[in-house]
Structure 1
Amino acid sequence: MQRLVSAENKPIAIALAFILVILLIGTGYTLSTTGTAPLLSPNYLLQQLQIGAFLGICAAGIMMVILLGHIDLSIPWTLTAAAMTATAIGGDLAVPTALAVGVAVGLVNGIGVAWLRIPSMIFTLGVDTVLRGLMVAQTGGFAPQDTATPLMVFLAKERLLGIPAAIFVWAAVSLAIVVILTRTGFGRAIYATGSREAAAYLSGIRTRWVIVGAFVVSGVCAAIAGILLAGYSAKAYQGMGNVYLLPAIAAVVLGGTHILGGRGRYVGTLIGVILIVLLNSVLSIMQMPEAGRQIIYGGVIIAMLLVYGRNQRVLS
């Protein structure tokens, strides 16, 4: 049992070690160049967490799908469609409309994967393309002129008790995911279905509805991220979600969630998000050229996955 627990915690420990190394390198660089250490400033860390909330909420949703051994590639335009629809509707209906878009996309994805048995990678990519076409048709190919509502701006940019409201939203989403995965029958069914769907079905679990539910959660999380991102930017724009797909998947995998499903803890995803946010922040402070940033960013991910992959082979 002790060996199993250590193996489960190993990816999390590795991610924490990488975070420490990133902080040390970034602090050493800023001390040598400016004589200050902004990375250790509470205000700076809160700002990075505020920006990381968008990625963290996307990662929370996509983790639910990855735990089933599936993938949701419709995240970018689910986020964008929710944000653009919310700003177009405006008023008190903006946020509920965005959430409804997330639910609708999740239902379509879940039905396509669970009932039609189309591979999730192909089906969700197709849904993402359809959403992109719908949004281009809605705006005529031009940037929308709508602006975010005051509530959206408040949730993304304002502070409560000195802490950005976006962090509270991220915390609420995180708490909901943890409760679902650890305290509900739905969460246990996700792990069972991800481990072996046929066995879960034979044991009485409604695996198709479990898959639909996970995709709905992923869609809603993408919509929430879209609400916040539109509020942070004060408007919605085409392609605003494109930069979040791969980092969200990377955060989930780096946090120890098995890409084939059945194993993973949300705390690992949380740490994976913080790692990616801090890495991007340090590279920005160092004014690393885009080419160098991509090389280092990819290298860190590959290095962690290699170490984690060795751990998985030992387990198997």
Structure 2
Amino acid sequence: MSAVLDFAKRPLVVAMVLIVALLFVGNVLSPGFASSQQIMRLLIVAALLGIVAAGQNLVILGGREGIDLSVGGVVSLSAIVAGNLMSGSDAGIPLAILACVATGAFFGLLNGLGVTLLRIPPLVMTLGMLGVLQGLLVVIRQGIPSGRAAPALSQFVTQPLLFGLPGIIWLWIVIGIVMAFLLARTVYGHRIYAIGSNEQAAWMAGVPVRVIRVSLFVLSGVFAAIAGMCLLGYSGSSFANVGEQYMLPSIIAVVFGGTSLAGGKGAYTGTMAGAVMLTVLQSILTTVNIDESGRQMIFGATLLVLMLFYGRGRAMRA
């Protein structure tokens, strides 16, 4: 019985149960909510959130109250960069990919250097970077939608590619496998857990703490940039604040997935389930006509509740 209870308390199990329950509730409120077509649309939206949350997961695992609040700005900027480089042409996709990855890595590098070399708290550093990105977006586009997704990108994100699943879902699966291998089977992953659990002990053991912490912010920026490009393919065009919707949910997905905000314990599998759960919840809130401000209030309250239960206390493994 004890083993069964421990299994039932795992974040991944809790998330799966909640996903099924939310689908049932959604289907009661709106018949057809749990249809195969609707579930596929929800998975596409969840993949966008899950890709952003991958980088967020790494930063949080690294400890020192690490949270990347700039991911929304990176998503928005990357979507605009990709859209303007493509301008509706498939020929612009390779250059757009390189530019987006470079953009995300650059701002992630600035975050990492600010946190490690200047000793600025991650929350302050990334919040300041978010303000810089928002101002940059206003200067560049002044809130006017710009750029168009290439047809191949839109098809990759929204149309079946293999076994009836769109390309973005396969991309998310690959990211999940890579993340699981990275964290569980590599020296780099073990070092992330080490500095998240006890940074001083990791440093004394010879772990290059600063280099790894900078790399976590770089990866967070890269994942956010990839999500921004995929978001462009999903929506067809981009606008200045398109990425703002991902900042808070990406943190909630990580915490709900069992990663402690104190760092050092957690896994990406739970984060993936958390992203699906949040997407289903957001769809239900939209179905019952709760506006964006109401949804943000609910997400904020959800994060506070999760932190109260296990965000800082006994971390649960996925």
- Scaled by the length of structure 1, the TM-score of the pair is 0.87
Aligned ranges for residues 89-108 of structure 1 at < 5 Å? Answer: 89-90=85-86, 91=92, 92-108=94-110
Q: Deviations over 1:167-198 (max 9, x none)?
A: 11211222221121112111110000000111
Q: Provide structure 1 residue ranges, at least 5 long, that are not aligned to the other structure.
A: 31-35
Structure 1 residue 78 corresponds to structure 2 residue 64 = no
Report the AA paired with residue 264 of structure 2: G
Report the AA paired with residue 155 of structure 2: F
- What's 1:14 paired with? 14
Q: Contact 1:15/1:272 (CA < 8 Å) preserved in 2?
A: yes
Q: Distance in 2 between matches of 1:136 and 1:164?
A: 33
Q: Distance in 1 between matches of 2:271 and 2:36?
A: 22
What is the aligned counterpart of 2:33 among 6, 19, 38?
38
Distance 1:184 1:313, change over 3 A: closer
- What's 2:89 paired with? none
- What's 1:57 paired with? 51
The count of corresponding residues between Structure 1 and Structure 2 is: 305
Q: Deviations over 1:282-306 (max 9, x none)?
A: 2233344667655655555555554
Distance 1:89 1:108, change over 3 A: same
Report the AA paired with residue 21 of structure 2: V
What is the aligned counterpart of 2:208 among 192, 206, 209?
206
Q: Distance in 2 between matches of 1:61 and 1:217?
A: 6
Q: Contact 2:257/2:271 (CA < 8 Å) preserved in 1?
A: yes
- Scaled by the length of structure 2, the TM-score of the pair is 0.87
Q: Distance in 2 between matches of 1:206 and 1:296?
A: 39
Q: Secondary structure at the match of 2:251?
A: helix
- What's 2:84 paired with? 88
Q: Contact 1:279/1:297 (CA < 8 Å) preserved in 2?
A: no
Distance 1:306 1:180, change over 3 A: same
Q: Deviations over 1:86-110 (max 9, x none)?
A: 2222313111111110111111111
Q: CA RMSD in A?
A: 2.6
- What's 1:174 paired with? 176
- What's 1:33 paired with? none
Q: Contact 2:51/2:223 (CA < 8 Å) preserved in 1?
A: yes
Q: Provide structure 2 residue ranges, at least 5 long, that are not aligned to the other structure.
A: 87-91
Report the AA paired with residue 143 of structure 1: I
Deviation for aligned residue 1:268: 1.0
Q: Distance in 2 between matches of 1:17 and 1:82?
A: 35
Q: Contact 2:258/2:270 (CA < 8 Å) preserved in 1?
A: yes
Runs of 4+ residues over 3 Å off in structure 1:
5-9, 286-311
Distance 1:65 1:80, change over 3 A: same
- What's 2:24 paired with? 24
Deviation for aligned residue 1:313: 9.0
Q: Deviations over 1:216-260 (max 9, x none)?
A: 111110001000111111112101100110001001001110001
Q: Secondary structure at the match of 1:38?
A: coil
Which 10-residue stretch deviates more, 271-280 or 19-28?
Answer: 19-28
Q: Secondary structure at the match of 1:160?
A: strand
Q: Deviations over 1:136-178 (max 9, x none)?
A: 2222x14143212234323322221321222112112222211
Q: Contact 1:14/1:304 (CA < 8 Å) preserved in 2?
A: no
Q: Contact 1:107/1:216 (CA < 8 Å) preserved in 2?
A: yes
Q: Secondary structure at the match of 1:146?
A: strand
Q: Distance in 1 between matches of 2:68 and 2:293?
A: 27
Deviation for aligned residue 1:309: 5.9
Report the AA paired with residue 187 of structure 1: G
